[in-house]
Amino acid sequence: MKVIDFRYGFIFFLMFISCNWVIGAIKSQSSGEAYVTLLYGDEFLLGVRVLGKSIRDSGSTKDMVVLISDGVSQYANDLLRADGWIVEKISLLSNPNQVRPTRFWGVYTKLKVFNMTKYKKVVYLDADTIVVKSIDDLFKCGKFCANLKHSERLNSGVMVIEPSDEVFKDMMSKVTTLPSYTGGDQGFLNSYYVGFANAQVYEPNQPLDVLNSRKVPEMERLSTLYNADVGLYMLANKWMVDEKELRVIHYTLGPLKPWDWWTSWLLKPVDVWQNVRVRLQESLPGTGGGKNPRDELIPKVPAFLGGISICVCFAAALVSLGLSLVIIPRQVMPWTGLLLMYEWTFTLFFLQFGSYLHLVYQWGKAVANRAGQFRADPESLDHESGKGHQRQQSCCDVAACYYGLGMAFLAILTPVRFDGRRRPRFGVLHDICCRTSVD
């Protein structure tokens, strides 16, 4: 009797194991659908984390795949895995139209999504998008679906793609010949999918049998609800589509990315993004709420820095005002004098206060580096992410430099022109400041 019990038990045990195995196999087979995004450098890491959280919050259980390039650190890699992403490394597809090489370097890499033939259908989402309502119905869309963006052109921020070896090879063969108005993937796709603007709008609410029995078009347009651009919100300070029906918010607008703290003061939809961010789980130590443990390397800003900065600011303003009064010749036309006063004061002020800020920055960096050396974690100092989405700081510095030089040039040129003609008195400012010497 006991032996029989044991045998039954064993058989049940075997059945249980094999059932689990079969269920597992079915599960992994049926997930021929996935959400995909791309990460070029660590700057957009938080964006991908929030996107993933928003997809899960929308109730989807589909695979989430993030394609990462060489510029992404090992830490980001681990964190995304811990968040539930399937991480796949890819090499950057070189961009043949080197029109704006720095910004668009690697953007052609997006075309690799067409090569993900492991999946039957993928929904591609940019790292600066967020899902606010389930979009699983997108997987029923045809071979290639995207949005039009304020024009006859398609936007590559949200796309439904049926990966295909054939299509991918065809694209690769045309990559060097087809023009790209942006110099990136979006321009290329617009050349590749000719006549996209005339494509039918995808209607997700059709019954499944209608969807299945129709002839699948080469391309379909998605409603704005699936790629609602915050730029559109800014125009009217409200969503121009039904806010309750909104599915995907796309935080375009170059420098206004939702992970930059100041943007929530400028753009209301950033709140939606931040609300997901604060609910991010602690997948790795110290990463709950979207915190980055590496931020803690930055030492606390000393309390006295604020006071000192205000003093320096006022001192710089006074010194600039004084200096420009000394520099500007007394006999120029009143308006010229005012203009020069304005130019010199601001140029001098920015030079002084700029140097001060630079000093503070250097000091902070030095302290942070010192703090960083104490951590025996080489990956935490991995700054090799200067590809793809990185912003170019140096460009702004150069612009500021040119601006300053131009101003200085103007300031010197103007008195030379006016000097030696009529010799009017300077005007009010001169009166106020130099009365004693005149008297």
Which stretches of the chain bind ligand NAG, using CB under 6 A? 112, 115, 117
Residue type for position 324: S
Nearer Cβ to ligand NAG, position 68 or 280? 68
Q: Which two tokens stand for residue 262?
A: 């100041």
Cβ atoms of 185 and 156 within 8 Å: the answer is yes
Burial class (CB within 10 angstroms; exposed 0-12, middle 13-18, buried 19+) of 43: buried
Tell the smallest beta-carbon distance from residue 117 to ligand NAG (Å).
Answer: 6
Tell the smallest beta-carbon distance from residue 104 to ligand NAG (Å).
Answer: 18
Coil, strand or helix: which one is 254?
coil
Nearer Cβ to ligand NAG, position 56 or 112? 112
| Residue whose beta carbon is closest to ligand NAG | 115
Tell the smallest beta-carbon distance from residue 112 to ligand NAG (Å).
Answer: 5
Paired with 153 in beta bridges are none
Tell the smallest beta-carbon distance from residue 115 to ligand NAG (Å).
Answer: 4
Concatenating the DSSP letter of every residue in 130-181 gives EE-S--GGGGGS-SEEEEE-SSSSEEEEEEEE---HHHHHHHHHHTTTS--S
Nearer Cβ to ligand NAG, position 176 or 205? 176
With a CB cutoff of 8 Å and minimum separation 6, the contacts of 33 are 62, 63, 119, 120, 121, 122, 123, 139
Paired with 67 in beta bridges are 38, 88
Taking CA 116 as the corner, what is the angle to CA 114 and CA 121, rounded to the nearest 5 degrees?
80
Tell the smallest beta-carbon distance from residue 244 to ligand NAG (Å).
Answer: 40
Nearer Cβ to ligand NAG, position 89 or 150? 89
Q: Which two tokens stand for residue 184?
A: 């990136």
Nearer Cβ to ligand NAG, position 97 or 352? 97
DSSP letter at 251 equals: -
User: Half-sphere exposure of residue 238, counting CA atoms within 13 Å on the CB side?
Assistant: 5
Distance CA 80, CA 56 (A): 14
Nearer Cβ to ligand NAG, position 177 or 436? 177
Tell the smallest beta-carbon distance from residue 169 to ligand NAG (Å).
Answer: 9
Nearer Cβ to ligand NAG, position 90 or 367? 90
Nearer Cβ to ligand NAG, position 109 or 345? 109
Tell the smallest beta-carbon distance from residue 116 to ligand NAG (Å).
Answer: 8
No. of helices (H) and no. of strands (E), the chain: 14, 10
Tell the smallest beta-carbon distance from residue 247 to ligand NAG (Å).
Answer: 30
